[in-house]
Chains A and B, each alone.
Chain A
Amino acid sequence: QVTLRESGPALVKPTQTLTLTCTFSGFSLTTSGMCVNWIRQPPGKALEWLARIDWDDDKYYSTSLKTRLTISKDTSKNQVVLTMTNMDPVDTATYYCARTVAGNIHWFDPWGQGTLVTVSS
């Protein structure tokens, strides 16, 4: 069974850097085709894809946020880390991680339960 779980701070201050961790089980990011994505959702608003990291360490970023995002992986811990710099109140959102499979499965399934991050001084 594939599961993912997000963790990180619930509150960050404006201008700070956010670091979120996705810990997963049921698959390995050393397996060909496996990918982990980050998606966010501001309260009451739509979903927004942020970034993806692949088993071969290829990385992809949102066009509008790519200057602020960095995604990385620690295969020994089955973790993917997303950092977002220069946080602003508009970045307040629930942040999800989800799996896709390169070449085959570009829909998100499964998802983690999400972690709410509030940006406020």
Chain B
Amino acid sequence: SQQGEEDPQALSIQEGENATMNCSYKTSINNLQWYRQNSGRGLVHLILIRSNEREKHSGRLRVTLDTSKKSSSLLITASRAADTASYFCATNTGGFKTIFGAGTRLFVKA
């Protein structure tokens, strides 16, 4: 079964609005990563947050991590049509496996 599960499965918003995606996981982690995937392409790394960090920013992206609730969120501010993609969280539990969730499909309408 998937370690990480994203919520919602799909999200449709207007350009300029903020988009929030959530990820829940089951076991203790070493780090959590967010990736973006455009249709038919490979994944692009967005942010890696370590288990001892609570928040990280990168441009219009903000990631939070709550290890007590085993959850993370990805906020995209002032969304653009080019942000339309699938977004995945991935967890590493300290070994050699990285486990991905099923993803959130974001559609930003111009």
- A and B part of one assembly: no
Binding site for A on B (CB under 8 A): none
Binding site for B on A (CB under 8 A): none
